[in-house]
Every structure is written in structure tokens, then in C-alpha cells.
Structure 1
Amino acid sequence: MAQVGYIRVSTIDQNTQRQLEGIVLDKVFTEHKSARDSSNREQLNALLDYVREGDTVHVHSIDRLARNLFDLKEIVYQLKNKGVSIQFHKENLLFSTDNTEAISQLLFNILGSFAEFERGLMLERQREGIALAKQQGKYKGRKKSIDTEAIRLAMKEEGASFRKVAEKLNVSLSTVQRALKHKE
């Protein structure tokens, strides 16, 4: 019966130390990735493969595991089906195969919905901030990863095609097309 930790932060710059601090764990899976897409999280998938019946997965809070209710329920369902318990420390909720308390399920759904709601608000504020910055002329978008002139020169080489140039310069096909379409 292993005690397994799952720690997730959205970016490399964020600190993972405060999550699950002081909890004795046999193995820890740490992820530096957004919770937006649970199928694309290698450490979460590795955890799901690793755990066995009788194990307990420890997570700092519900929003560290998933940011939408559908993914959250799916992950917890997978764990419970394997006979694995899951402990959310911030919310003080434990879900085990024998835990069918209605109040726990209610709290789980409410807190999961709040995590999803919070993510939606954050994205809305981000869009509003970008729109305002664009109006004020402060937002120019992401800096170009490659100079447009370099793409044009590469396209003049013998045998050049959009795809070959994109591969050679390590940019997307649409970047090459956009560079040739617009004169700066």
C-alpha cells in the first residue's frame, strides 16, 4: 500500500515545494503543465499506470488535479476503479472505494465546479486585459521566432517549397505562408 503524491504547477517558474510538504510519500509524480488537457499530462498518466489496489494518492488541492469537472471526475473514477484512494489535503476530502458518503460527493462536485469556474474567470480576465492593451497600443502579440527575410531568402533557393523551408527553419507551414503573403 504505497503513499503516492501528485504535484502539478502550470509553469516551470512556479514552486512545487508548498504542495504536500510534510507528508511522507513513497513516490511523487511532479508535473509542470497546465491542467487544461488531462490526456496530455505525462506524469499524471504515469501515476495512473503506477498505482495499485490499496494505494493512496495525495494531492494538495482539487484544482491541482484538474481544472474542469469532467476531467476531475474521470480521474477520480479511474483511481477508485483500481481500488486506489485519493486524498485532497487542502479541502480535507478523502475518496476511497468504500467511501460513498453523499456529503463527500456533494462537496467534491461543488469544489470541482468552483475550480472550473475560477479557470473560466481567469481566462476571461486575460482576454479583457489583452483587448485593453491592444486598444492602448501596448499589446503587440508574441515576438516573431524567425525573421521574415530569412524565410524569403530560403524560398529563393533551388528546390524550395513551403514544407521544405518550414522544416529547414524549424517553423510551421503557416509561418512560411504568412511571411510570403505579407510585405513588411
Structure 2
Amino acid sequence: MDIGYIRVSTVEQKTARQLEGVKLDKTYEDKCSGKDTNRPELNNMLNNLRKGDTVHVHDISRMARNISDLLDLVKSITAQGVTIRFHKEALTFTSNQNDPMQKLMLTMLGAVYEFEKDMMLERQREGIAIAKAAGKYKGRKPSVDRDKVIELLKGGMSIRKVAAQMGIANSTVQLIKKEAQQ
């Protein structure tokens, strides 16, 4: 079977450009970060691969954003007798192929993608620090009305009932209660 693996980092992002024009029998699509391999559709795909299948991926960064996960995934997939093909980089890996040049290219390109991600995060941290210093960055708006939680607790309502009424976890109510007591 020809199997496609598509990943975007957020729910808002579109997947249309990935593997466009590639004939696939089945597609697995994740809308989450590639920072680790804990992704539902990736794990679903890995569990359903069969010897002789070919996994198609638009580019290396869609499979993994760090070099160790990338190398582990390629090794794990090919060890099952499955071929993995990265279209953008024109790299193909199989279990019976031991091409040192392709392994070098995979490692180098994976490292470039990891570096790119790290640099983006560093620029983001720097921007946030500058915005905070200028008083322009306030962080995320609170998603819980803390005053309402405290009011309900002071009114004698239990932690569980407050959590149920507010639609939040018991641990969140406990945290707010603890912060209010300090």
C-alpha cells in the first residue's frame, strides 16, 4: 500500500500542499507539533504498517523536528520491511538499502530542520523578553474567572462542585484556592 503521512503544527494550518498529486491508498494526518513522536495518527500509522508498504512524506520536517526522533522513526519503519520516501528531498529508505550518502543527507537535513526550529524558538523568546521589558507583553488572558472560583469557595461550595460548575479541573480549583490563601 502507498501510505501518506501528513503533519501540520496547528489545527488552523492547511495540509493541501503536502503530497499533492501523489496517489495514496491511505493517509494519516496529524495537526500537532512535531517536537516528539507522541502523535495519534503517527502512532496509528506505525501500528498498521505492513511489509511491502511505502510511506510517503512531503518533507523530513513533517516526520520529526529533532534528529534523534527522525533517525529512530526511519530505522523503525524500514526495519518492518517498509519503504519511506521523503518527496521534497528526493530521499528513499528501505530495509535492504544501506546507502551512506542517503543516511548522511537525512542526518544533515534533519539537523538543519532542528536548528531552524531552535532558532525560531530563540527569536520568539527574545521578542517576548523585549515586549515584556516595554510593558507590551502581558501573556495569555486568564481562561478561568479566579474571583468567581474564590467567591464560590467562600460561599461553602466544595472543590468538586466548584470545578463542575466552572467547567475546570479539581486541581485548578485547588491551585486557585492555595494562591488565594497566600
Q: TM-score, normalised by structure 1?
A: 0.90
Q: Return the letter of the residue paired with 1:53.
A: K
Q: 1:126 aligns with which of 124, 127, 133?
A: 124
Report matched runs for 1:162-181 at 5 Å: 165-166=162-163, 168-169=165-166, 170-171=168-169, 173-174=171-172, 176-178=174-176, 181=179
Give the Cα–Cα distance (whole angstroms) in 2 for the partners of residues 62 and 175 of structure 1. 42
User: Which residue is 2:35 aligned to?
Assistant: 36
Cα offsets for 1:6-46 (capped at 9, x unmatched): 000000111100000000000000110000121x2000001
Report matched runs for 1:1-184 at 5 Å: 2-38=1-37, 40-158=38-156, 160-161=158-159, 165-166=162-163, 168-169=165-166, 170-171=168-169, 173-174=171-172, 176-178=174-176, 181=179
Contact 1:56/1:85 (8 A) holds in 2: yes
Count of residues in correspondence between the two structures: 180
In percent, how many aligned pairs have the same letter? 45
Unaligned ranges ≥5, structure 2 = none
Instruction: Give secondary structure in 2 for the equivalent of 1:19.
Output: coil
Segment drifting more, 61-70 vs 130-139: 130-139
Instruction: Give secondary structure in 2 for the equivalent of 1:141.
Output: coil
Give the Cα–Cα distance (whole angstroms) in 1 for the partners of residues 161 and 103 of structure 2. 54
Instruction: Give secondary structure in 2 for the equivalent of 1:11.
Output: coil
Q: Return the letter of the residue paired with 2:46.
A: L
Q: Return the letter of the residue paired with 1:74.
A: D
Contact 2:78/2:95 (8 A) holds in 1: yes
Q: CA deviation at 1:154?
A: 1.8
Give the Cα–Cα distance (whole angstroms) in 2 for the partners of residues 124 and 182 of structure 1. 34
Give the Cα–Cα distance (whole angstroms) in 1 for the partners of residues 134 and 172 of structure 2. 28
Q: CA deviation at 1:50?
A: 1.3
Contact 2:150/2:176 (8 A) holds in 1: no
Segment drifting more, 21-30 vs 170-179: 170-179
